Amino acid sequence: MRFEVLCRDPQTMARVGKLATPHGEVLTPTFLPVGTRGAVKSMAPWEVAGIGYRMILANTYHLYLRPGVEVIREAGGLHAFMGWEGPILTDSGGFQVFSLSPTFRVEEDGVRFRSVYDGSEHFLTPEAAVRVQEDLGSDVAMTLDHCVAYPATREEVEKSVETTLRWAERSLRARAREEQALFGIVQGGAYPDLRARSAELTAGLDFPGYGIGGLSVGEPREDMLRCLEVQSAILPEDRPRHLLGIGDPEGILESVALGMDLFDCVLPTRMARTGVAFTREGKLNLRHARYAEDLRPLEEGCPCPACRNFTRAYLRHLHRVNEMLAHRMLTWHNLTFMHRLLLDCRRAIEAGRMLELIREWRGWSSRHPS
Amino acid sequence: MRFEVLCRDPQTMARVGKLATPHGEVLTPTFLPVGTRGAVKSMAPWEVAGIGYRMILANTYHLYLRPGVEVIREAGGLHAFMGWEGPILTDSGGFQVFSLSPTFRVEEDGVRFRSVYDGSEHFLTPEAAVRVQEDLGSDVAMTLDHCVAYPATREEVEKSVETTLRWAERSLRARAREEQALFGIVQGGAYPDLRARSAELTAGLDFPGYGIGGLSVGEPREDMLRCLEVQSAILPEDRPRHLLGIGDPEGILESVALGMDLFDCVLPTRMARTGVAFTREGKLNLRHARYAEDLRPLEEGCPCPACRNFTRAYLRHLHRVNEMLAHRMLTWHNLTFMHRLLLDCRRAIEAGRMLELIREWRGWSSRHPS
């Protein structure tokens, strides 16, 4: 993997970069659609690529439990298994262990947990997380980290930072697959000084890229941005930074301005399934009766098939009667929206007007189209 | 609407026909995918058309209750509302009243029922069924009929035949829209003589086409075929006949040989959502563990996207974890299968080998691919 910064915004830490992987190049900042269980929900891989996406994220936790790594390895790896030809980033599984598993226990060696599917017991070590991701054959893998809930005491966060660091060292030693880049994860809760410490120590291990975890888990937005800023200043400038799990437009733009390059989040696809379309005018909630006879597209000028073919009235009807086509079309639309947002973002950086773009989008999340 | 018989199989009653509607021509025998609530489940209209389908069926019952006829009329009719450019056939709503509604009561004037959605009370008359379908703007509409459950006493069936006939007469008088063809429905339960009587009396009303209802509701297959045969011999040869609700390959082929032209059924799409793929080798049930590492496509040689892009192992995984993409891909496959089956059927009629085709498919429903 190679990463090259192509251009910087003069007023912020935002940069346009190019990430080269064994499965092709990606321009950053970019948003990665989440293929949770080996599919971006409701979308065929050629449809995701058709929007313009080059890279996706897949969840190690889910694939490890279902269908299991053996099946995917036998199929020739995750790319072949799911029919995705571009780069794939896999997370370590840690976050899902902490957020989804019915029970888990962090031990020095790793984390013991029960499967969300059938309650079976599993033990995930840093070494196992590396091995599983190598078997999956992703282009970018992540080290197993210890993510604490918010709020957490200083002592809890300190401990999680130390554990995450030890696991990062062990992950590096466990690596066997040259062509896969392993990103180190930094933690630190909502404590800026612990964030700084985690970034310094992890950067000392010289990873080819870094993931920033444990943010947007309940802390105030200003605290999140402060933590990001601290870590961004410490992490090496010539390495890509992936902000894990942030997907709201304002949050993405503000994080880009703080030097973040990669994003992933289920928000745009999950909101789609609840009947919410992201538009430049704000969030359009199709459940509102006002759209019952609205013959306009979700968003004027949007090139997605939902907007080119259907009215709000029709999509609202489909959503109300729970037709899959509604989920598909809103997912397609929201992923198109995110792709266009990141495209605008790269253009703004190139034009030196990132701050202006952030101003234009300020307040978006509380706006709604007419 | 015009219907023309282009060619007949010399050994059976099978024929190839051409149905010309305001929204284009369709070759028969043909299978109509069911767009229950204004969408063929999981499929975009251009995807359905891409398989090769020209005509679909939509359920008046569902559209009348959700989103309501007013919304669809305001949108410019059902074609514009759902984005389907080809012909649409609508049923009368009667069958769903009898099969879905929590309660219903047949009165002389029509049927009183409660909505499956919210329990609200509605009264559907033959005139209302015509008016609703005219508002929907379908190319072919159906008269409201009285469908009895199986088994039913001779008296019950006699009564339903009489009611259906009176409603058919009233439907004809209620028509206001020239360009929409109204098909009369024949009934008669599993009693061949009542089937004959219903066909004679309804044919006497000179409909441009006929729907055969109330079959495949539990009666033995031979009884169904006997009833079909009786009615097919009576209904005018120059009018299209729609066999309502039959979708198994063997049943379709045998019915084509008895002179049926149009078919519709949710079976192929419903089975898809349970993980069952129709293949020429039989039914492939993806829930079986034997497919867990099977890297073959669902069906060798099938041109659908599921078969061109994915393995059985991958689709099985998606189905197991309930990913929408599984439902989509299996639906797409099964509709492709049905389209190819009916294409084979038309070719067999043209080649005078319909009986041979039926023999080739005999026993299909109990076969499974390796």
Find, in chain B, the residue whose alpha carbon is nearest to that of A77. Answer: B314
Instruction: Identify the residue among A47, A48, A269, A324 best suited for mutation to test binding to B, counting B beta carbons within 10 A and taking the highest.
Output: A324
Closest Cα of chain A to B218: distance in Å? 29
Contact of B314 with chain A, judged by CB distance below 8 Å, is answered with yes
Q: Which of B66, B71, B292 sits opposite A293 (nearest CB)?
A: B71
Element of type H or E holding B325: helix B324-350
Catalytic one of B9, B91, B139, B248: B91
Mean pLDDT, chain A, as a whole number? 97
**Burial (0-12, 13-18, 19+ Cβ within 10 Å), B219:** middle
Contact of A185 with chain B, judged by CB distance below 8 Å, is answered with no
Contact of A193 with chain B, judged by CB distance below 8 Å, is answered with no
Residue B111: what residue type?
V
Compute the average pLDDT of residues B169-180: 97
Find, in chain B, the residue whose alpha carbon is nearest to that of A331. Answer: B324
Q: Which residue has the tokens 């733009």?
A: A253
Compute the average pLDDT of residues A137-150: 96
Contact of A311 with chain B, judged by CB distance below 8 Å, is answered with yes
pLDDT of A213:
97
**Would you call A313 and B75 a contact, using CB atoms and an 8 Å cutoff?**
yes
Check: CB of residue A318 under 8 Å from CB of residue B63. Answer: no
DSSP assignment string, A318-338: HHHTT-HHHHHHHHHHHHHHH
Token reading at A134: 């190598």
Contact of A79 with chain B, judged by CB distance below 8 Å, is answered with no
Residues of A in contact with B75 (CB under 8 A): 293, 295, 311, 313-314
Residue spans per domain, chain B: 29-265, 275-366
How many whole angstroms separate alpha carbon A83 and alpha carbon A85? 6
Residues belonging to chain A: 370
Task: Please list the alpha-helical segments (H only) found in A55-148.
Answer: 60-65, 69-74, 78-82, 94-100, 126-136
Q: Which residue has the tokens 């069958």?
A: B95
Q: Mark which residues 252-281 of B lie under 8 Å from A by CB.
A: none
**Would you call B44 and A324 a contact, using CB atoms and an 8 Å cutoff?**
no
pLDDT of B17:
98
**A285, β-bridge pairs:** A276
pLDDT of B258:
98
pLDDT of A70:
98
Residue A137: what residue type?
G
pLDDT of B222:
96
Catalytic one of B135, B248, B264, B294: B264
The 3-state DSSP class for residue A89 equals strand
**Would you call B314 and A62 a contact, using CB atoms and an 8 Å cutoff?**
no
How many whole angstroms separate alpha carbon B83 and alpha carbon B65? 20
Compute the average pLDDT of residues B51-68: 98
Find, in chain A, the residue whose alpha carbon is nearest to that of B292. Answer: A71
pLDDT of A68:
98
Find, in chain A, the residue whose alpha carbon is nearest to that of B74. Answer: A293
CATH superfamily of domain region A2-265: Queuine tRNA-ribosyltransferase-like (3.20.20.105)
Residues of B in contact with A327 (CB under 8 A): 324
Q: Which of A44, A305, A310 sits opposite B325 (nearest CB)?
A: A44
- Name the band, by pLDDT with cuts 50, 70 and 90, for residue B291: very high
Element of type H or E holding B63: helix B60-65
pLDDT of A123:
97
Token reading at A62: 């889910």
Candidate CATH numbers 3.20.20.105, 3.40.50.10680, 3.40.50.300, 3.30.420.40; the one for domain B29-265? 3.20.20.105
Contact of B327 with chain A, judged by CB distance below 8 Å, is answered with yes
Contact of B85 with chain A, judged by CB distance below 8 Å, is answered with no
Contact of A131 with chain B, judged by CB distance below 8 Å, is answered with no
- Name the band, by pLDDT with cuts 50, 70 and 90, for residue A148: very high
- Name the band, by pLDDT with cuts 50, 70 and 90, for residue B267: very high
Task: Please list the alpha-helical segments (H only) found in B178-262.
Answer: 192-203, 221-234, 249-257
Is A91 a known active-site residue? yes
Contact of A329 with chain B, judged by CB distance below 8 Å, is answered with yes
Check: CB of residue A328 under 8 Å from CB of residue A336. Answer: no
Closest Cα of chain A to B316: distance in Å? 9
**Burial (0-12, 13-18, 19+ Cβ within 10 Å), A322:** exposed
pLDDT of A49:
98
**B212, β-bridge pairs:** B186, B243
Cβ within 8 Å of residue A63, ≥6 positions away: A37, A38, A69, A72, A78, A90, A136
- Name the band, by pLDDT with cuts 50, 70 and 90, for residue A305: very high
Is B145 a known active-site residue? no
How many whole angstroms separate alpha carbon B345 and alpha carbon B354? 7
- Name the band, by pLDDT with cuts 50, 70 and 90, for residue B322: very high
Residues of A in contact with B62 (CB under 8 A): 321
Closest Cα of chain B to A184: distance in Å? 30
Residues belonging to chain B: 370
Residues of B in contact with A37 (CB under 8 A): 317-318, 321, 323
Contact of B46 with chain A, judged by CB distance below 8 Å, is answered with yes
Q: What is the pTM of this model?
A: 0.98
Contact of A22 with chain B, judged by CB distance below 8 Å, is answered with no
Token reading at B290: 């034997």
Q: With the CA atoms of A296, A301, A305 and A306 taken in that order, what torsion angle do they form, in degrees rounded to the nearest 10?
A: -30
Catalytic one of A139, A248, A261, A264: A264
Element of type H or E holding A181: strand A181-186
Find, in chain B, the residue whose alpha carbon is nearest to that of A296. Answer: B75
pLDDT of A175:
98
Summarised one tens digit per residue, pLDDT across range A46-80 is 999 999 999 999 999 999 999 999 999 999 999 99
Closest Cα of chain B to A53: distance in Å? 18
Residues of A in contact with B71 (CB under 8 A): 292-293, 313, 317
Summarised one tens digit per residue, pLDDT across range A117-126 is 999 999 999 9
Contact of A312 with chain B, judged by CB distance below 8 Å, is answered with no
pLDDT of A90:
98
pLDDT of B123:
97
Q: Which of B138, B158, B133 is nearest to B148 (CA)?
A: B158
Summarised one tens digit per residue, pLDDT across range B248-259 is 999 999 999 999
Contact of B356 with chain A, judged by CB distance below 8 Å, is answered with no
Check: CB of residue A187 under 8 Å from CB of residue A213. Answer: yes
**Burial (0-12, 13-18, 19+ Cβ within 10 Å), B292:** middle
pLDDT of A351:
98
How many whole angstroms separate alpha carbon A232 and alpha carbon A13? 9
Q: Which of A41, A44, A323 sits opposite B39 (nearest CB)?
A: A323
Closest Cα of chain B to A284: distance in Å? 19
Q: With the CA atoms of A282, A288, A294 and A300 taken in that order, what torsion angle do they form, in degrees rounded to the nearest 10?
A: 10
Q: Which of A39, A41, A75 sits opposite B311 (nearest CB)?
A: A75
Summarised one tens digit per residue, pLDDT across range A283-299 is 999 999 999 999 999 99
Compute the average pLDDT of residues A120-149: 97
Contact of A74 with chain B, judged by CB distance below 8 Å, is answered with yes
Q: With the CA atoms of B363, B366, B369 and B370 taken in that order, what torsion angle do they form, in degrees rounded to the nearest 10?
A: -110
Compute the average pLDDT of residues B315-340: 98
Q: Which of B136, B156, B40, B142 is nearest to B93 (CA)?
A: B142
